[in-house]
């Protein structure tokens, strides 16, 4: 688990770098006419290719295995990050960033595939809670780490070089420490969730064909509802991941270095949220809705407060509100392409399930770049947060309506051959 945790945290050093460097890029290219909308376009193209990559790489990981894909994604991201650091212009930025996000999409699906083979299903909520902390801890580290260099006066191009070098060190270390399954160390693999959509075939670690891999997932109503929930929650999450430093710089009045470091509060609070959510879910016998539904309702209120309360020159208030959004967003979000994907896909299709669920989320998150950038540029940050509050409200209604109708069962058993698996 330690190698997966550290490795996926490392991925975020070469993902959060654009967010913390965006204020510097906007400043350097102001005379060239590059605006928040332009950088939002760059971010959105990255999210779009990330969503596509979740589909293709999710399926590929179920055939090639998690270890190979996890390592390849890290080394490829190092190369893309170096190339971005020597580039210039919106079009070039967009192409290279899209390539970076595509190879970065290999990381999570490979992590899920590996986790499904290492840990028993009745502990997966806790395990995925811990592993979900990796991208939050990585995000916190990246923002604080790179933000410190910004405070010392380093330019954005050097920031990208530092990010690439750091991930390269982590990738080389992982090459020697990451194992595909317990069989690599002479142990047996644990059983998968009996309620997965493949039934007994879910124990297989390699699909027979694309059709047998995709059909059970696409016929599952639970799968489609999870995709819908992920659409809304990922849109909100990616907005805060990308735009928080710019918001703190422009609307709250912090310096660019302070904004980069302050933006770390979002993943930092989120780490506590997902860890708590995983352990509580296992205590509830896998009934994730007991955590998710209350969180979604409170999330709507937290976003509404960001919309109506004045935060100009009030950094503590702004950071408290961002923390509230993080805590009540990331708990339900962490379930969707983590433990729920493993519950649905078993060992056979876990990375495919995670990839498809994540792709639905990241197709929605395309709006977080161009859409939120346009709203903030034309109307200000308060209307942007009002838009996000509306998205959260619709997502909460979908979750409540579905879970009220479907109900929940415990881990054992989750489904019969004629029933939908419940997660």
pLDDT at residue 393, rounded to an integer: 94
Architecture of domain 2-182+190-406: Up-down Bundle (1.20)
Sign of CA pseudo-dihedral 363, 130, 179, 206: negative
Q: Where are the domains of the chain?
A: 2-182+190-406
- Look at the block and give the residue holding tokens 């510097």: 24
Q: pTM (2 decimals)?
A: 0.73
pLDDT at residue 405, rounded to an integer: 59
Sign of CA pseudo-dihedral 193, 199, 203, 209: negative
Average pLDDT by consecutive 10-residue portion of the chain (423 residues)? 86 91 87 83 87 88 85 96 90 94 92 81 72 82 88 90 96 89 73 71 67 83 87 90 86 84 86 79 68 89 92 90 93 79 78 85 77 84 92 90 56 38 40
Sign of CA pseudo-dihedral 200, 205, 210, 215: positive
CB-based contacts of 372, cutoff 8 Å, min separation 6? 40, 239, 243, 384, 387, 388
pLDDT at residue 189, rounded to an integer: 73
CB 21 within 8 A of CB 74: no
pLDDT at residue 415, rounded to an integer: 39
């Amino acid at each position: 688990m330690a190698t997966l945790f550290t490795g996926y945290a490392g991925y975020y050093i070469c993902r959060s770098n654009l967010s913390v460097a965006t204020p510097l890029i906007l400043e350097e290219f102001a005379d060239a006419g590059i605006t928040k909308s332009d950088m939002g376009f760059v971010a959105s193209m990255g999210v779009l290719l990330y969503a596509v990559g979740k589909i293709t790489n999710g399926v590929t990981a179920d055939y090639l295995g998690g270890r190979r894909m996890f390592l390849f994604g890290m080394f490829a991201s190092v190369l893309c990050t170096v190339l971005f650091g020597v580039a210039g212009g919106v079009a070039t930025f967009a192409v290279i960033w899209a390539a970076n996000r595509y190879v970065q999409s290999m990381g999570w699906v490979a992590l899920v595939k590996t986790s499904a083979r290492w840990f028993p299903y009745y502990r997966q909520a806790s395990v995925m809670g811990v592993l979900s902390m990796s991208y939050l801890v990585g995000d916190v580290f990246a923002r604080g780490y790179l933000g410190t260099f910004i405070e010392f006066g380093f330019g954005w191009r050097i920031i990208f070089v530092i990010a690439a070098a750091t991930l390269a060190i982590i990738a080389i270390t992982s090459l020697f420490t990451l194992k595909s399954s317990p069989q690599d160390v002479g142990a047996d693999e644990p059983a998968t969730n009996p309620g997965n959509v493949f039934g007994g075939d879910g124990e297989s670690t390699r699909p027979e064909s694309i059709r047998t891999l995709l059909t059970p997932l696409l016929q599952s109503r639970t799968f489609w509802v999870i995709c819908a929930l992920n659409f809304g929650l990922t849109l909100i999450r990616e907005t805060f991941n990308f735009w928080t430093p710019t918001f703190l710089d422009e609307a709250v009045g912090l310096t660019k270095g302070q904004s980069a470091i302050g933006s770390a509060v979002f993943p930092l609070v989120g780490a506590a949220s997902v860890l708590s959510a995983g352990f509580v879910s296992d205590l509830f016998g896998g009934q994730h809705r007991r955590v998710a539904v209350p969180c979604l309702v409170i999330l709507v209120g937290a976003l509404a407060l960001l919309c109506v309360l004045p935060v100009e020159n009030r950094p503590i208030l702004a950071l408290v509100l961002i923390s509230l959004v993080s805590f009540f967003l990331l708990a339900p979000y962490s379930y969707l392409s983590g433990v729920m994907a493993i519950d649905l896909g078993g060992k056979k299709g876990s990375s495919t399930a995670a990839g498809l669920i994540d792709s639905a989320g990241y197709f929605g998150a395309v709006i977080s770049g161009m859409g939120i950038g346009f709203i903030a540029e034309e109307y200000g940050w308060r209307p942007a947060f009002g838009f996000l509050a509306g998205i959260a409200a619709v997502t909460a209604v979908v979750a409540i309506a579905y879970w009220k109708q479907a109900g929940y069962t415990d881990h054992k058993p989750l489904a019969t051959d004629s029933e939908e698996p419940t997660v």
